[in-house]
Amino acid sequence: MEKYPEQWPQFFTSTILQWKPLLNNDKYKDILIDALNFAVKKVRIILFAFVIMNNHFHTVWQQLVPYSKEFVQQGFMKYTAQKIKHDLLLNNPVYLEEFKVNKKDREYQIWKRRPLSIELFTNAVFHQKIDYIHHNPVRAGLCKFPEDYKYSSAKYYEFDVDEFNLFKS
């Protein structure tokens, strides 16, 4: 009898509200890196791949028991949104106003609702998603080779360079 994991790896994508290029600012990309690092170090996820673009990010991660995919995703999105919102409030309140929403549960919204989350059941789809992630900056014209883009795991895959300390314990 074949044993299946309790939770499958996920291809997860989230987009900034109205596709605004908020993540052009590296300090906001670093907030996402810090949140990924926290989830890895606290053994909430295994991180397989990521890329942070100017208005969205993709990752392949696997939630670890006892954490549900909803817990990990919501925690990640809430933490990063709060950190970005706080920085905008201090340093760019005019831009923050572009994220103002008419919602009962919030005044500002950084991420679009309903991010994409797809369970990856086969090795072929798993590797296809990692390849897709790594080539995202190339398709966007940000670099010639995937490993040249700083905010991606491609350099780790190509050269075993873990610049953000996300893959090696």
Burial letters 105-140, b for 16+ CB under 10 A, else e:
eeebbbbbeebeeeebeeeeebeebbeebbbbbbee
Q: Enter the tokens of residue 169.
A: 């314990």
**Computed from CA positions of residues 140, 24, 111, 166, in that sequence, does the dihedral angle turn out positive or negative?**
positive
> What percent of the chain is predicted at pLDDT more than 70?
96
Nearest to 48 by CA among 142, 140, 136, 162: 162
pLDDT in tens, 34-63: 999 999 999 999 999 999 999 999 999 999
Residue 163 has pLDDT above 90, yes or no: yes
Q: How confident is the model at residue 7 (pLDDT cuts 50, 70, 90)?
A: confident
| Global pTM value | 0.94
pLDDT in tens, 14-29: 999 999 999 999 999 9
Architecture, CATH, for domain 10-159: 2-Layer Sandwich (3.30)
Instruction: Give the type of residue at 93.
Output: P
pLDDT in tens, 70-103: 999 999 999 999 999 999 999 999 999 999 999 9
Mean pLDDT estimate for the chain = 95
**Residue ranges of the domains in the chain?**
10-159
Instruction: Give the type of residue at 77.
Output: M
pLDDT at site 138: 98
Instruction: Give the type of residue at 74.
Output: Q
Q: Judge residue 66's burial from the number of C-beta atoms within 10 Å of its C-beta, 0-12 exposed, 13-18 middle, 19 or more buried.
A: exposed
